Amino acid sequence: MEKYDGAEAFIEICNANGVEKIFFNPGGEMGLLLATIAKYRIHGKPCPQLILCLDESVALTAAHGHYMISGKPQVVMVHSELGTLQFGGALHNAQWGRIPVILWAGAQPSGQRVNWKNEPYDQGMSVRNCVKWDHTIEADENMLDVLQKAFDTAYTEPCGPVYLAYPRDIIPEKIDRVDLPRSSGVPVSVAPPLDNAVLEKVADALIEAENPLIVPGCTGRYPETIAMLVELAETICAPVVSGPVWMNFPTTHPLFGGIEQILGSRKGNPYMADADVVLAIDYDVPYVAAPGLPGPEANVIQIDVDPLTAGRPLWGRGANTYIDADSRKAIPALTAILRRKLTPEKTAELRQRCARLESAHAKQRQEWRETAESRAKQNPVSPDWVCYCLSKLIDEETIVLHHTISQSASATEQIDRTRPRTLMGCPAGSIQWALGAALGAKVAAPDKLVVSIMTDGGYVWGNPVASLWPSVAYEAPFLSVILNNQSYGFIKLLVERNYGEGSIPDRMAFEAGVDIMPAADYAGIAQACGAYGRTVEKAEEVLPVLKEAIENVRNGRPAVVDIRGERQIESVF
């Protein structure tokens, strides 16, 4: 039988599973892998491209962003225990985001620390909390079999990270070449067949409800669900409040009720508190949901491939009915049942609700626009004004990443998104996300404009130098807008909520560690990385500077616009 070495086998199994890029940071144990990949690429043989990231958390976050655009499984390579530890909060985000990524790390290389046993207690232990499966490949195991199991595990719904550690000796070893199964390019769904009796009951509950509400979480990972949700919402005349992570529902649709906000944002969640039936679909509770939760009497129905979040840490809001189903099948089936059950009288009644919701939607949008326009001359600059200006400069295919903590309402209210995969939000709490994810999104969609909107604290956690370097080197430019309140505004708001308004007056903010003042020169740092960089302090500069920055990005240069804005925003508390 024909043989090949572990490096070639690794490349071919990546090819078979549709891996296009490998975001990575190197270690000595990777030597043969890196050299073999380079050889394949230079000779034009099929092989994923290596994207060097100067920090492992950036590499993992870029893979996260790439998946959200490409839908393809990811591989992130890092150096043994040390590279693994450097994943930090990016791994938590990938877990909550259901990201199918194989974390491929050398097992601690032998012979490094000669005076004592050189293994960590348990290398996989440091990630075990956040992965679906972790494993160290043993000498008697077939590397290809283990890798295929890793792909199968990561890319089966609910998707998630898998950690594989490998001894460096397996890479040069000769193994049998085998035919590898080709991936279909979409995650495997093992949801049971639909239970029509249960869906009939859900339909009855929705028909009887006075204020039904649909809350999609990550349905938008399958773009075909967007039209399905529109049909469902129109059939039952229910508003849709979308989770913040995916583009699930067109924000311009008259039944769109807003994007769910997180705690600390200026706004609560409209519609939630009034809903008597909440249909949550593929929904994970956001990191910290804002006030405006469903009332205690609300009937919560949850449809998901993993409604009980089995095998993941306990989260979710609890529901009255859990339905284990694939939303791509359940949504149209539910719509069909509703259509059959709705009498002409009921349909006429629902039309009135639709009319009411449509006018609430129009009023809400008008208020959002008026708020932004009323701040056109306000200094320090309002985040509403910044996002309003951005909305005038981007097109409907632009990919917008929002990670704006206490200012989250500005991005989601001012910027409409209607096309699949054009809105990306962080599924969890590690705030660095929108820089690395923007890099990954741009690598996945080189023809699209990618815009990342972040708060200043998050921007620094995002590791700007480590994120901008690959953006320049691999010609993957994106625009990064910093809503810079020079503060950990959320923490400040939280303290005030818990200990009373004014508990951290401005004069004490620095001592309390909630101010990031004086701010660093983020625009200067960007310029030093070869990017366009500008600091904006006046409202009238926002539009022209953003325009110039976007021109730079369209011409191939990443851009950072640091907008010094309102220090304190109104709180919902």
Ligand X SMILES: Cc1ncc(C[n+]2csc(CCOP(=O)(O)OP(=O)(O)O)c2C)c(N)n1
Binding residues for ligand X, rule: CB under 6 A, are 89, 405-407, 429-431, 455-458, 461, 485, 487-491
Partner residues linked to 453 by β-bridges? 402, 481
Q: In terms of CB distance, is 108 or 407 closer to ligand X?
A: 407
- Minimum gap (Å) between residue 497 Cβ and ligand X: 13
Minimum CB distance to ligand X smaller for 9 or for 405: 405
Q: Which residues lie closer than 8 Å to 308 by C-beta, 6 or more apart?
A: 316, 322
Least distance to ligand X, CB of residue 483, Å:
8
Residues facing 281 on adjacent strands: 216, 303
How near is the Cβ of 99 to ligand X at its closest, in Å?
Answer: 17
Shorter beta-carbon distance to ligand X: residue 143 or 560: 560
CA angle 241, 244, 247 (to 5 degrees): 80
For ligand X, give the closer residue by CB, 290 or 319. Answer: 290
Report whether the peptide linkage leading into residue 181 is cis, meaning its omega lies within 30 degrees of zero: no
Q: Which residues share a beta bridge with 240? A: 214, 256
The minimum distance between CB 386 and ligand X, in angstroms, equals: 13
- Which residue's CB is nearer to ligand X, number 388 or number 488? 488
Q: How far is the CB of 455 from ligand X (least distance, A)?
A: 3
- Give the residue at shortest CB distance from ligand X: 457
- CB 526, min distance to ligand X, A: 17
In the complex with ligand X, the residue whose CB is nearer, 430 or 467, is 430
For residue 76, the cross-strand partners are 23, 103
Shortest distance, position 94 Cβ to ligand X, whole Å: 14
Rounded distance between C-alpha atoms, residue 467 and residue 452, angstroms: 12
- For 351, list phi and psi in degrees, rounded to 5: -60, -35
Cα dist from 500 to 486, 506, 509, whole Å: 22, 14, 15
Please report how close the Cβ of residue 458 comes to ligand X at its closest, in angstroms: 4
- Residues 374/268, Cβ–Cβ less than 8 Å: no
Phi, psi of 241 (to 5 degrees): -105, 115
Query: Which two structure tokens, joined as six digits, stand for 325?
Result: 């189903």
User: HEC states along 409-460?
Assistant: HHHHHHCCCCCCCCEEECCCCCCCHHHHHHHHHHHHCCCCCEEEEEEHHHHH
What b/e readout covers 239-254, taking b as 16+ CB neighbours within 10 angstroms? Answer: bbbbbbbbbbbbbebb
Distance of closest approach, residue 368 Cβ to ligand X, in angstroms: 19
φ, ψ (nearest 5 deg) of residue 132: -75, -30
Strand 74-78 with 21-24, pairing: parallel
- Contact present, 435 and 403 (Cβ < 8 Å): no
Nearer to ligand X, 193 or 518 (CB): 518
Contacts of 21 (CB under 8 A, 6+ apart): 48, 49, 50, 51, 63, 66, 74, 443, 444
Q: Which is nearer to ligand X, 222 or 490 (CB)?
A: 490
Which of 89, 212 has the CB closer to ligand X? 89
418 versus 571: smaller Cβ distance to ligand X: 571
CB of 117 to ligand X, least distance (A): 33
